[in-house]
Every structure is written in structure tokens, then in C-alpha cells.
Amino acid sequence: MVLLALIYGCKKEVDLNKLPDVPILVQPINGAVTGADTVIFVWQCKDSEGDDILYKFYISEDSTSWKEVVEYGNSYETTLELSSHAPENYYNYYPLKEGNKYYWKVKAENRFFDSKPEQESGESVSEVRHFYTTPRNVNSIDCSYNDQALNLSWVDTDDLDHVEITYQPSLSSIEQPIIVDAGVQRYNLTGLTNYSKYTLNIKAINNLGVASEPFTIIEMPLPSNFVVHDADFNLYNTITIGNQVWLTQNMKATHYNDGSPVGKYCSPEPIAGYGFIYDPSVALHQTKSIAPKGFHIATDDDWKELEQYIGVPSNELDILNSFNGIAVIRYMTPRGTLTKCGKALASSSGWNDYNGLPGNGTDFYHLTFYPAGYSSFKKGATFTGDIAHILTSTVSPSGTISTIVRVISNQSDGIFRADGSIYIWGNIRCVKD
């Protein structure tokens, strides 16, 4: 009888310490596409005896060689956030690659804090599932425009199979998505409507058949090289003077070319062509610009080239004044007075007369510089009708965050070159790269 009791007691001990149930994998679902920075894994598991469970998480790139990433014991912790970034002492780290295929599984064991009782043999391991990380899109995506056409170009990635392009509004004559095989690296979309905005989405499909996140471009075909647009799709005409191509209007963009807001501008133009008044920091921005694609904010040297072409004597080109408001003009030295260079650039309307003399210019070169005035201390434009104050993208020699400027005034036939003030906002004019 004693022997039978001992045998029965041993069998009961074994029965009470069975392995946990096989874990059920929940997320990501089999064949899912995830990001490469962070992936969240979820599974379900229970132990019929209510014992604590020790989980071991495994990941593989070939379903043969497995890496144990982490183990921890808590029956309620059935979620793992796996990161590709490895801060110090970060335990759940694995260097996930973009555009790759991965396999994963979870193993469950009983966790006993004291001496471990006898358990049944075997392992409680989930099925193996796989997922894909999102591949990189193609590189250096660019879109130029011309008459009724948009011209896309890019640089292929190493694992590219093909590129898919979709666009809106669509053309019945062109089936979507447009498929471009690896190695071509360009596509010309033709038959479009000029002055209409088109939204294009570009996706890279890798050799595993997985698509990247789309890259979106909004672009507008225009009828000729003489018309360009900024990031807000404001249109500007151009004119060739000597070896330069200038915009014939002041800028009025409210966004940089990367889509971020400018923020530091004021005085929406009262007359077409006046443009907006910008803080000098906008003209000096080193990493982004408000200039239309293929153009840049005119530098001091760009202006000198223009001025020499229209007749400013070489010995006057480098004359530099200081400008901090209209009151100092009487003390400044103009350049090109004898050839009336200032009047040749000034618009033929909008200028106030000065001391009984006509204020309007001749606009001989069709650059049409209106007297848009300037703004001081972030106020609205002042002295409109009397002065044009144009920022360059060249830093003032004073070393402040201000620019060398050009000043056209109804007080002079010439044009002034000056060291500007950080407190005086002005117009911006652009020239072709």
C-alpha cells in the first residue's frame, strides 16, 4: 500500500508540471510587410496549471540559422517590440535590413523560481512565420516639366525589380500603374494639360515582390522655358539679359522647395509683381530655397554681372554703402547714375515723383522692379512707391545675419549697393543656375 501511494504521488507531480501550450503567433501575420526600424510581435499562450511562462523569441533570415533575441518570464508579456536601433543596454535589438525577408518563432517553457520539478519531455514551440521589411525607394527622384509633359528620373537600388508610377488626374490613354523595369531609370509622361497640377506616386518593387513606401511629387507642366513656378505654383516669367536668365517678378513663395513653410515674410503684394517682403534669413538659407527649380536667389556677383551689362562702370561696381532705412539714401553713393541704370531697371509705373521730378523708370530691360518698399521690425511694408529694396543671398561683410542688398530709389537715377540690416526685410529676385 505504501509503495502504491508513492507511485501515485510521483505521477501526480509529473502531471502537474506539463509544458505550456504551443504559442499562437498573432502579429505580424504571415507574409506581412513591416517597417525596418521597429516591428511589434504579438503571440498568445497559456499554461493549464497556471505556472509562470518563460518565453524565448527567435528570428532568422533563412529559417535555418536562428538568433535568440530575448527571453523573459511573465505569462502576461506576450508582446515584443523589436528595434533596429541599439541604445546602450537595449535588450530587444536586431539589425533589421530594408527589403528583406525574416522568419520568427516563439518557444514557451515553465518558469520556476525554486528548484525545477520534473517536466514532460519535448518543447513547446510555435509554428514558423515570415514577414518582409519595407524596401527602400529608388534614389534621387526628380521631376522636370516642359510643354504638356513631366519627365521623371531616378537612380535604381541594388535589389530593384521594377518601378511603379501612378498619377492623378489620369489619362485614359495611359494605363496605370506604369511599369518601368530596372535599369531604365526614367519615364516621360506626355499628353498632359499645361497649368494643371499632377500628383505622381513612385514605388520601388524589389526582387522579393515587395513595394516600398510611395514617394509623392506634385508637379505642373508649363508651355515653355520662359515660364516657371515656385513651391506654391505661383508663375513667373523669365527674360534673358546677356548670359543670364532672370525672373521678371519678385518672389512670393510661402514655402521652401522641400514643402516647409517660410514663416518670415509679410505684405502680400498690392500690385502684381510687387512680391512679398522677406526676412534676410530667408535669402541666406543654406539648405533650402524659395527659388523655382533650376533657379537661385541672386548673389552679389549675379547683380554685378547684370549691372556691368546695363552700363554700371567697372570702377563703380564695388562701391558699398550702409542701408538701414530710406532716411540714409541722401548719404549713399549711387552707381551707374550717368547711364541711368536704376531707371532702366525700375518699373514704368507705380513710383512716386520726387522733388518735382518723375519717379517712374523706363523698365528698359523688362525686369520690372516695382517700388515695393521694405519692412522694418516685422511691420508691414513702408515707403511703397519710393523705394525697391532687394536682398541678395550674399552675407553682408559686417558679419551679421544680413545680406548685401540692392536699392533702387526715386531719389536717384543710379542703383545702390549696400550692406543691409538684419532688421530690414526686402524683396527677393532669382536668376537661373
**12: confidence class by pLDDT, cuts 50, 70, 90:** very low
Average pLDDT, stretch 377-405?
88
Residues 6+ apart with CB under 8 A from 335: 307, 312, 313, 316, 317, 319, 341, 414, 415, 416, 417
pLDDT at 11: 45
Q: Which residue is associated with the grid cell 512679398?
A: 276
Residues 247 and 390: their CA atoms lie apart, in Å, by 13
Task: Name 90's Cβ contacts closer than 8 Å, sequence gap at least 6.
Answer: 83
Q: What is the pLDDT of residue 17?
A: 74
Concatenating the DSSP letter of every residue in 189-223 gives: EESPPTT--EEEEEEEEETTSPBPPPEEEEE---S
pLDDT band at 110 (very low <50, low <70, confident <90, very high): confident
- DSSP secondary-structure letter at 385? T
pLDDT score at 123: 86
Copy the grid coordinates of residue 344: 532702366
Closest CA to 45 of 24, 73, 18: 24
pLDDT digits (tens, 9 = 90+) for 28-53: 999 999 998 999 999 999 988 888 88
pLDDT at 57 over 80: yes
Other beta carbons within 10 angstroms of residue 347's beta carbon come to 22
Backbone phi, psi, residue 374, to 5°: -150, 175
Banded pLDDT at 26 (limits 50, 70, 90): very high
d(CA 379, CA 50): 72
Q: What's the pLDDT at 378? A: 65
Query: Quick check: 119 and 53 in contact, CB under 8 A?
Result: no
pLDDT for position 361 = 95
Give the phi and the psi of residue 113 in degrees, each rounded to 5: -80, -25
pLDDT on residue 2: 43
Q: How many residues does the chain have?
A: 433
pLDDT at 119: 65
Query: What kind and span of H or E run contains 15?
Result: helix 2-15
Q: Exposed/middle/buried for 349, CB within 10 Å: 0-12, 13-18, 19+? A: middle
CA distance 340 to 310: 9
How high is the pLDDT of residue 265?
A: 86
pLDDT value, residue 269: 73
Instruction: Show me where the domains of the chain are located.
Output: 20-133, 139-219, 235-432
Residue 1 reports pLDDT greater than 60: no
**Number of alpha helices (DSSP H) and beta strands (DSSP E) in the chain:** 4, 30
Q: What average pLDDT does the segment 238-261 reach?
A: 94
Burial of 257 (0-12, 13-18, 19+ CB in 10 A): middle
C-alpha cell at 104: 520568427
The answer to whether residue 10 scores a pLDDT higher than 50 is no
> From CA 412, how far away is CA 405, in angstroms rounded?
16
Across 48-65, average pLDDT: 90
Residue 19: per-residue pLDDT: 87
> CATH topology of 20-133 equal to that of 139-219?
yes
> Of the candidates 13, 43, 18, which has an alpha carbon nearest to the alpha carbon of residue 28?
43
| CATH superfamily entry for domain 20-133 | Immunoglobulins (2.60.40.10)
337 or 398: which leads in pLDDT: 337
**Least confident residue range of 1-5, 279-283, 329-333, 420-424:** 1-5
pLDDT at residue 4, rounded to an integer: 43
Classified by CATH at the fold level, domain 139-219 comes out as Immunoglobulin-like (2.60.40)
Q: Is the pLDDT of residue 152 over 90?
A: yes
Q: Sign of the CA dihedral 299, 302, 308, 312? A: negative
Q: Does position 64 have pLDDT exceeding 70, yes or no? A: yes
pLDDT per residue as tens digits for the range 171-221: 888 899 999 999 999 999 999 999 999 999 999 999 999 999 999 999 999
pLDDT in the model for residue 264 = 85
